[in-house]
Structure 1
Amino acid sequence: MHHTSLKLSLASIMLLGLSTQGFSQVNKKEGKIDNSEVSVTKEQKKIVVPPPVRKLEKMVTPPNTVPRPPLRFLFSEVPNNGRITEISNQVQMPVNPVTPVQLSKYNNVIRAGFGNFGHTYLEGHAGIAVGQENYHGIYVKHNAYRLGPIGANYSGESDNQIKAHSRTQFNSVKLEGSLGWKRKGFYYYGYQPKVYSFDKETIFNSWNKFNFDGTISNTSKTSPIDYIFRSKLSYLFTKVGANELLWDAGMSASFPLTDKLSANFDGQMVLAQSQDSLTTYRNLYKLVPNFKYKDELFSVTLGVMLANSKEKTTENETYVLPVLKADYQLMDGIKLYAGYEGDVMANNLTTILQENQWLGRFQSLKPTRKLSDIYAGVKANLYGGLSGELKGSFATYKNFYVLNNSRSDSTKFEILYSNDTTKVHVTSLSGQINYEIPQLFRSSLLMDYYIYSNLGNLKEAWHRPAFKATWSNQYLIREKMLVTSDFYVLTGLKGLNGQTNQQVTLNPIFDLNLKFTFFISERFDVFLSANNILNKNYQRYLYYPVQGANFLAGLSFSF
């Protein structure tokens, strides 16, 4: 696509205000249990309810939203992207629980806190509800560390964000959108040996991202056709000179043919213009027509993915990949499922920088092809608030990528791909157990085990874990105090020093966090967060230890 026409298309989409949380929301894959969207069926219409999120970026729940939605089970499409967002250098802000009383009175909040490592924190949200469905608000966040885990102020970090969001519903259409800016500043502090006697600005980097998201979805209860259109437009640029304009748009639609048979259509288009030493144009188009048959006990989906990956100067490949899914209700509360699918992932600069901020310049960007993914599993929703899921998968990839320390500079990371003749195999076993006492206690244990084989030129799956587990708990005591604990385990990480060709096995990661929120009144609460209580200076990525035990204390005011 020509540069000018790309800009015109992007501008047109911004004016239309399209967007969504992902074109796959209408027809989500069966699978892994996580805190993803909760689907609620209401008079044969599917409504998406926001999940209970622990992350700092969580927006305050607007009025008239289900305060504590149940958990839904979904497996991630990719076995592992090396992305462990739960484990970072930073303190994770304890989330204010939204009780029914608070929900009915206040939906605006401002929080401020201070901690060790020169930690300053400020978060705020203000919004206006217009009737039952219309809502408009603005969210701001500042989260900064003057000092880091090593080298004092040579490893500090900052994260700032502003986002305006809006939701408007008409008789049969809902419009949602947000416009935001985010900036992250950090240092390449992974020096060996750890000698910091130079100007710290020489190892400083930052990226800014401006983004617009929007969705148009059908909310009519009488229309037989269901649809959702979405568009995400972002522009990211770094201090060191790399930038990327990214447009990710898609749609999903469902057309009932009979009471039990429906025709479905998913589509996605990812257009990227990346600029570093050279400017590259990379496009990915995916169409997934499929038919789904569903009765009281059994459902089956049969279709095909047509994907085209195109680069302006070299690549122009078309792929045909299978889509086959089935499930069977074995008995009340127990469902078996299986599938055979493929996919293509774009691998853009924006997404990989958010995976590893210490990425170096002049990276080769290629799409990863999942040639096949054969999986099977069982879900169980038992009595007394207990539920669980177990899933096994065997997937085959081409252009499988890993992130490892650069061969020219070990403080920066580079993307390494399996060669064209290699088909990487990933065998995984994943599961989760949940237990919940409504309005009182919630516990969730997630575990994933991976085996990477036939890696070819990669030798090892650098910085991808062999095992990871997350155990999270929330306990509300007499509606006066919320206690939250998170325990993370990550093992099997390996890195390679590209300059010495020395392989390093990283120590297992054990990370324990505790958070306390005390409700002084309906408007005020105080919070205390203690992270990495075991004081482990572990390395998620080679030569980059995280902070030891760190604390954050502050005050929240709701209005």
Structure 2
Amino acid sequence: MNIQAIYNKRTFIISALGLTGMLFAQTATAQEVLKQETIDIISTNQPKLRDAYKLNLTASLPGIDTTRPSMKYEIPALNLNFMYQAMPLKPLALGKDSLSYLQNNFVKLGYGNYKTPYVQAGFGSGRQDMYNYGLYVNYTGSKGKEIPDQDYSNLNVLAAGTYLLPKFRFDGSIGYDRNTVHYYGYGHDTASYKKKDIEQTFNQLTASVGMQNRPQNDWAFTFQPKVKFILFNDSYKRTENTFQLNVPVRKQVFEDIYIKVEGVFDLSTYKEDNNRAINNNIASIHPAVDIMKPGFVLHAGVNPTWSNGEFYLLPDIVNESHLIRKKLILSSGWISYFEKNSYRNLANKNPFLAGLPGEMMNTRVEEKYTGIKGTLGSHFNYNTKFASVTWYNMPLFVNDSADTKKFTTRNEAQLRAFQLHGEVGYIEEEKFQARVSFDWYNYNKQETEVQPWHLPAFQGDLFAQYTIAKKLHLNADLFALSGSYYLLPNKDFGKTKGAWDLNAGASCDISKNFGLWVNANNLFNTHYQRYYLYPTYGFNIVGGVMIKF
């Protein structure tokens, strides 16, 4: 039975009962009040909605219109007349893949006053992937006019080559040098010598071999050992054999920190006639750490050195700090090193040396300096330094008291000086460049000698070069030299005069393979003396041709 039927039946029962009660009330009014009736609810009403009807819709795309629309454009004609006609566009030509041809060979010939022939030649292999080589030859000489026997000649021959492998590079060279001078520093009014008696010829044969690894990146381990053999002799049966070995090693440990070690061995043996051989050996190891940061560079190391069996621990500290980036750099350092007093090195300084007096002590140099350097604008650069320099066991050249046209050496135990160095340069691409520099020494203390014999206190240099239309090259070089003290046989001393010396030159490229050149030296025609009794040539000029192919 559903809820609606029960509800209708309940209503009917309630209605019947009510109707019956009403009848009893009407017939028996005197009777007692009717009793209350109770209603029993069988169940509660729970309405329920009917299930909704769902519509299923299926969407579909409209059909594709494949017909091509027909569009028409109408552009009105513009009748404009321009006076300027633009050039047609053309593509730029691409550069050639191969490099331009190099002129690897040249011959330079010339002649000048003082009967001066000049020959210079160079021959090279050019660009090669695995090797390259070259040969260089130079010869010049002069005969004095004002002073007899003021003759000299100089011959240089050098052959060098390089062989490249993927991981290594090998270098080798062999050279020969022949330098002839004459002892012309004597009184020509009172003495006369034959050429063979005053001629001095130095012969030097040099052979070297080196190797270097080719790292693939900056962090790689690099090393570059090099071996050199030098045979040196002169006309008076003095011989000196030298063996040199350098082994530098370098490794980057951090992005801006490098460590390096260099071993140096310089062994020499000097012998004159049948006298006892004199050995002069230097060995050293240079460990150091380099810190390179933007605006800050520090090189900190030491130089443990053995000179003829004696040990020295030398400082090697250099610092550069940028006060203003690249424009103002503070540079300072404390360094010490040895200058070897071999016969070859001393003869290169003074070719009129009469051999070694005996066992020589090598010179130990100690420098403590500070200065500023940097750039000004895009063309100027400068460098200044103020230093305190001390030389220990410094050889000084003095005229031999028995034969004043030759020089001997005297040992200065300790020589001190203040040094002032200045340099300013200007560069404008390849068109013009100029540089002026000077060194001034204030020798303030000698322990052994009275004066620093033949050491000039001031040296200056002004150089300029100018190029016109990339064909005409002009250059000039002005030297300034102060006088120096010299020792007389009677133990007295004098001082040479200072001097100015101006050199100038020019070269012109007539064609790609042919050119002309000229050099003029000592334009002031001053016969100054770098060493006492040995005046220089006066004005001299040399010119010739240059052939390149």
Q: TM-score range by the shorter chain?
A: 0.7 to 0.9
Q: Deviations over 1:121-154 (max 9, x none)?
A: 1111111124257321111111111335511xx1
The residue type equivalent to 2:119 in the other structure is: L
Distance 1:143 1:243, change over 3 A: same
Q: CA deviation at 1:284?
A: 0.5
The residue type equivalent to 1:526 in the other structure is: L
Q: CA deviation at 1:502?
A: 3.0
Question: The residue matched to 2:348 in structure 1 has which SS?
Answer: helix
Please say if residues 233 and 247 of structure 1, whose CA atoms lie closer than 8 Å, have aligned partners that are also in contact.
yes
Q: What's the TM-score once normalised by structure 1's chain length?
A: 0.77
Could you tell me which of 287, 290, 293 is aligned with 1:292?
290
Q: CA deviation at 1:553?
A: 1.2
Q: What's the TM-score once normalised by structure 2's chain length?
A: 0.78
Cα distance between partner residues in 2 of 1:538 and 1:463: 13
Matched, 1:269 2:265: yes
Question: The residue matched to 1:457 in structure 2 has which SS?
Answer: coil
Cα distance between partner residues in 1 of 2:420 and 2:247: 31
Question: The residue matched to 1:418 in structure 2 has which SS?
Answer: strand
The equivalent residue for 1:34 is none
Could you tell me which of 425, 434, 453 is aligned with 1:434?
425
The equivalent residue for 1:245 is 241
Moved more, 278-287 or 259-268: 259-268
Could you tell me which of 524, 533, 536 is aligned with 1:534?
524
Matched, 1:185 2:180: yes
The residue type equivalent to 1:244 in the other structure is: E
Cα distance between partner residues in 2 of 1:156 and 1:402: 25
The residue type equivalent to 2:409 in the other structure is: I
The equivalent residue for 1:389 is 383
Cα distance between partner residues in 2 of 1:131 and 1:545: 48
Could you tell me which of 317, 320, 331 is aligned with 1:324?
317
Cα distance between partner residues in 2 of 1:111 and 1:302: 46
The residue type equivalent to 1:287 in the other structure is: I
Q: CA deviation at 1:424?
A: 2.0
The equivalent residue for 1:10 is none
Please say if residues 244 and 275 of structure 1, whose CA atoms lie closer than 8 Å, have aligned partners that are also in contact.
yes
Please say if residues 102 and 126 of structure 2, whose CA atoms lie closer than 8 Å, have aligned partners that are also in contact.
no
Cα distance between partner residues in 2 of 1:163 and 1:327: 38
The equivalent residue for 1:128 is 125
The equivalent residue for 2:331 is 337
Please say if residues 345 and 367 of structure 1, whose CA atoms lie closer than 8 Å, have aligned partners that are also in contact.
no
Q: CA deviation at 1:396?
A: 2.1
Please say if residues 495 and 505 of structure 1, whose CA atoms lie closer than 8 Å, have aligned partners that are also in contact.
yes
The residue type equivalent to 1:494 in the other structure is: Y
Matched, 1:115 2:112: yes
Could you tell me which of 280, 283, 293 is aligned with 2:281?
283
The residue type equivalent to 2:155 in the other structure is: N
The equivalent residue for 2:472 is 481
Distance 1:132 1:491, change over 3 A: farther
Q: CA deviation at 1:271?
A: 0.4
The residue type equivalent to 1:221 in the other structure is: Q
Question: The residue matched to 1:142 in structure 2 has which SS?
Answer: strand
Cα distance between partner residues in 2 of 1:147 and 1:184: 16
Cα distance between partner residues in 2 of 1:368 and 1:424: 14
Please say if residues 160 and 184 of structure 1, whose CA atoms lie closer than 8 Å, have aligned partners that are also in contact.
yes
Cα distance between partner residues in 2 of 1:442 and 1:319: 43
Write the mapping of 1:154-553 to structure 2, written as runs, cut at 5 A: 154-192=149-187, 194-195=189-190, 197-222=192-217, 224-276=220-272, 277-310=275-308, 316-333=309-326, 334-370=328-364, 372-419=366-413, 423-497=414-488, 499-553=489-543
Please say if residues 290 and 304 of structure 1, whose CA atoms lie closer than 8 Å, have aligned partners that are also in contact.
yes
Q: CA deviation at 1:256?
A: 2.1
User: Using CA pairs below 8 Å that are at least 6 residues apart, which structure has the higher relative contact order?
Assistant: 1
Q: Deviations over 1:66-107 (max 9, x none)?
A: xxxxxxxxxxxxxxxxxxxxxxxxxxxxxxxxxxxx984312
Q: CA deviation at 1:488?
A: 0.4
Cα distance between partner residues in 1 of 2:236 and 2:189: 23
The equivalent residue for 1:41 is none
Write the mapping of 1:40-51 to structure 2, written as runs, cut at 5 A: none
Distance 1:362 1:294, change over 3 A: closer
The equivalent residue for 2:139 is 142
Q: CA deviation at 1:250?
A: 0.9
Moved more, 211-220 or 326-335: 211-220
Q: Deviations over 1:178-218 (max 9, x none)?
A: 10111011110000355453322211110111001333223
Displaced runs of 4+ in structure 1, greater than 6 A?
none
Cα distance between partner residues in 2 of 1:194 and 1:132: 63
Gaps of 5+ in 1: 1-101, 311-315
Q: CA deviation at 1:500?
A: 2.5
Please say if residues 454 and 485 of structure 2, whose CA atoms lie closer than 8 Å, have aligned partners that are also in contact.
yes
Please say if residues 243 and 267 of structure 2, whose CA atoms lie closer than 8 Å, have aligned partners that are also in contact.
yes
Question: The residue matched to 2:200 in structure 1 has which SS?
Answer: strand
The residue type equivalent to 2:387 in the other structure is: S
Distance 1:385 1:116, change over 3 A: same
Please say if residues 343 and 355 of structure 2, whose CA atoms lie closer than 8 Å, have aligned partners that are also in contact.
no
Matched, 1:557 2:543: no
The residue type equivalent to 1:280 in the other structure is: I
Please say if residues 212 and 224 of structure 2, whose CA atoms lie closer than 8 Å, have aligned partners that are also in contact.
yes
Q: CA deviation at 1:172?
A: 2.9
The residue type equivalent to 1:532 in the other structure is: N
The residue type equivalent to 2:431 in the other structure is: L
Moved more, 322-331 or 436-445: 322-331
Gaps of 5+ in 2: 1-98
Distance 1:227 1:194, change over 3 A: farther
Distance 1:163 1:548, change over 3 A: same
The residue type equivalent to 2:348 in the other structure is: Q
Q: CA deviation at 1:174?
A: 2.1
Please say if residues 402 and 416 of structure 1, whose CA atoms lie closer than 8 Å, have aligned partners that are also in contact.
yes
RMSD across aligned positions (CA): 1.8
Distance 1:524 1:288, change over 3 A: same
Question: The residue matched to 1:352 in structure 2 has which SS?
Answer: helix
Distance 1:210 1:103, change over 3 A: farther
Q: Deviations over 1:357-380 (max 9, x none)?
A: 100024335343436321112111
The residue type equivalent to 2:213 in the other structure is: N
The residue type equivalent to 1:122 in the other structure is: V
Cα distance between partner residues in 2 of 1:386 and 1:348: 40
Cα distance between partner residues in 2 of 1:385 and 1:537: 37
The residue type equivalent to 1:179 in the other structure is: I
The residue type equivalent to 1:304 in the other structure is: V
Q: Deviations over 1:305-331 (max 9, x none)?
A: 111112xxxxx2111112222211112
Please say if residues 360 and 413 of structure 1, whose CA atoms lie closer than 8 Å, have aligned partners that are also in contact.
yes
Cα distance between partner residues in 2 of 1:210 and 1:120: 24
Please say if residues 425 and 453 of structure 1, whose CA atoms lie closer than 8 Å, have aligned partners that are also in contact.
yes
